[in-house]
Chain A
Amino acid sequence: MTIDAWLACALADADTRNLPELKPLLETLARVIATLRAADFNDRADA
């Protein structure tokens, strides 16, 4: 799942659960996860 797709799902879920205060934290988490995915230690199946 791409981060954009994950974030869209997560934000929608936060709305469904009536947790609007969660949304800025999810946006922060998306940036954190993007950094994690970009780290040079990650494996690739085609490498």
Chain B
Amino acid sequence: MPDARDLLTIESFGRKLRAGEVTAQAITEQCLHRIETDNPQLNAFIRVMADEARAQAAAADRELAAGVDRGPLHGVPISIKDLLDVRGVPTTAASRVRDNHIAGRDAPTVAHLRQAGAVLVGKTNLHEFAFGTTNEESAFGPARNPHDLSRSPGGSSGGSAISVATGMALATVGTDTGGSIRIPAAACGIVGLKPGFGEISTAGVVPLSRTLDHVGPLARSVTDAWLVYRALLGPVTVASAYLSSGDQVPGRTFQKPEALVPVPAGGLRLGVPRAYFCERLDDEIRSRFEESLDRLRAGGVRVDEVEIAHAPDTAPIYLALVLADAAAYHAATLDAMPERYTPAVRIRLEMGRYVLGEDYARALKGRDVLRRDVDAALAGRDAIVLPTLPIAAPPLGAATMNVGGRDEPVRNLMLRQTQLFNLTGHPAISLPCGTTTAGLPCGLQLVGVRKQTESLLRIALACEPYLT
């Protein structure tokens, strides 16, 4: 498999495209060729849209020749997690439950990508209904990590991450309810951005939890993630952009700067929540994380320790909310067609039907407490920094992993570092930060101030050169 760092970024493709050194059709053919050769073993795609992609790429080249330039995503091959509606094709959610579905229209985010000139190469594999972190339970079979085919690519946006890491697309769109963008980004060695809650429309997306779901990009660089993020926001004023806590930003308009400008690394203030988030780490993950912090310090970044007081309560709060929300959405089909779910996903969804209302209310209260905790940890700091995953990509089929002499369920480990920020709605991004001795990628997560995703991206851009 190619190294993601050797593949074209959107940024570099754009320069070559406008210099006449490459065409949208050529890059699209490269991506389709990569899908044809590598997808049989990686299982990243549920649907390849080769004919549509070729037509879109040809149209993009014609437009550019006629002087019409739609901007940074013009002619850029992008894959879409098969949880988002793309008109005219099924949104399977990797489940047989949706066998007869055909999307009548694009999700707004997909429409925004089309308007920005993107070429949609296909729809990617995921953990069924996004309800899992390993991409193993899919009606279309497990996706496989390109760095080690015996391992998970992470999930639930596993196929999306694979597509970017291997050159099947230049970027992709995923969803993140407990970490489903950041987890596979870390496991596959790419960048994954969960924007702030409510920034990007979740309309036309099969929900897992409407209070925790986020849509965002996975890409090969921070700048590429920013370019896709800007496109996902859409080109026009958003009359009702709801951010964390339901705060409305009426008449919000989006500036379109030419480039993402990093903040100066010198003087950046990062806080490390060592209690809880650094207590249960694989040794090599810990080493790569500490080495990354050392390089950041050498670059002038100030790193200190922060406390997130109720962090140990995160998993119970998260579970009560996500289980009940998911059960409400799936109740009718759990009763009508239980055999169409993969067995493990079905039984986890069933579990959610037993969450009591009083416990859901407790979890809502806890969520507010956690939001205040994270806000407090960010006071006087630019971002929180922590490992994205406590382990490298787990072997497919593993139920538990041993960390620090203790066996832990893989699911708990995969969600441990990320789910908090779905609860609180803070923007968070995962960046590659080296590999284990076995060559498995490690991820570093930066968490920014609420409602300041652009600032987080500028911080991430400043940190990026120190991490790999």
Contact = CB atoms under 8 A, between A and B. Distances in A.
Contact of A39 (B316, B347, B350, B358): B316
Contacts, number: 60
Contacts of B355: 29, 33
A39 B316 CA distance: 10
A41 B365 contact: yes
Interface of B is mostly: helix
A36 B347 contact: no
A15 to B, nearest CB: 13
A33 B316 contact: yes
A21 interface: yes
Interface in B136-156: none
B342 to A, nearest CB: 13
A26 B347 contact: no
Contacts of B315: 32
A21 B359 CA distance: 23
Interface of A is mostly: helix
Contacts of A10: 354
Chain A: number of interface residues, binned into ranges: 20 to 34
Nearest to B367: A41
Given A41-B310, A41-B369, A32 B362 contact: no
A30 B362 CA distance: 14
Interface string A4-47: 00100010010000010110011001001101110111110000
B350 A36 contact: no
B429 interface: no
A8 B317 CA distance: 22
Contacts of B343: 21
A25 B369 contact: no
Contact of A26 (B316, B351, B362): B351
B348 interface: yes
20 contacts: A1-B358, A6-B356, A21-B343, A22-B347, A29-B319, A29-B323, A29-B351, A32-B320, A33-B320, A35-B313, A36-B313, A36-B316, A36-B320, A39-B313, A39-B362, A41-B310, A41-B313, A41-B369, A42-B365, A43-B365
Closest 7 CB pairs of A and B: A36-B316, A41-B369, A35-B316, A25-B351, A10-B354, A32-B316, A39-B313
